[in-house]
Amino acid sequence: MGESKLSLRLMLAVWAIFGLLSFCYASPPGGRIYPKANEEATEKLKEAYAAYHQGWYDRAIELAMEVYRKYGDVHARWWPTWTKKLMKNNLPDPHDRGAILGATIEGKAPLTMGVTTVWLLSLAYLKAGRYEELAKASWGDPMLKGIASLHLKRGDRPLKMPPKSTWRPLPLRFREEDYFILVPLDEACKVLGLGCRLDISPKTKRVRYAFIGEKGKLLPGLTQARDINGEREDLAYAPFEEDGKVWIPFYWLAKQAGVRGWEVRDGKIYVAPK
């Protein structure tokens, strides 16, 4: 096994240990035991999770509500596609904490992704500004319902987006993976007007760090990053390197560039005016 592959697996192992600890002690889903989502529910929650993080809240609500009505508050976990490619699908059940921890210690398993139905639903209602619906929902997460009630008392309303007739397409290629829209980092930064610099290892020829603007920083294979203001921020989908290109979720770069809203239509990414 080459040095670059060993170092990448070691990096992913460290990442997984910290992520697994967070998974075990956080709430949700670590606060209580949830029924395991079946294949259908997992796929819908997987898509809803991506829709939520990409700002498509109504779509996230639609998908998660389908799961809730049919299966209730279940827990879905899955491996990102890029990790399956890296590990050649030699990965344990994403719900098997013991197997994941064992594989992690051996340097063989990066972190899974996951979400529970009600938590995702509540977050999506909150971000969509549907405060009254969430506050009155019998299924809503208590903490997030309380936040929704505070918004109602203050009379808060979600920001209105500009008419979509004013949105413009970007000259930018993209791909979809695990329902996330991914773009080549260097090309996207150029289109969005963001400075970008890659730190490439002279030994492995792989990207060690990517710097966005003066203070932004991310590392392929990790969700932990620094935004353009230097503040710590977690990505919902880890950037990764493939054939010399770093692929990153577009939603995160759009946020750094001050894009108010975006969508994919007619095979192109359209963005709202700033």
Between CA 152 and CA 161 the distance in angstroms is 20
- Residue 72 confidence (pLDDT): 97
Predicted model pTM: 0.85
- Residue 92 confidence (pLDDT): 82
- Residue 265 confidence (pLDDT): 95
Distances (CA, A) of 38 to 31, 71, 141: 20, 9, 22
Between CA 124 and CA 55 the distance in angstroms is 9
Residue of 106, 104, 128 lying closest to 51 (CA atoms): 128
- DSSP one-letter code for 199: E
- Residue 103 confidence (pLDDT): 61
- Residue 31 confidence (pLDDT): 56
Between CA 252 and CA 238 the distance in angstroms is 11
Task: Report residue 157 CA to chain centroid gap.
Answer: 25
Between CA 177 and CA 249 the distance in angstroms is 9
Q: What is the mean pLDDT of each run of 10 residues along the chain (274 residues)?
A: 47 42 41 87 98 97 98 94 79 80 53 90 96 95 95 91 93 97 97 93 87 92 92 93 92 95 96 90
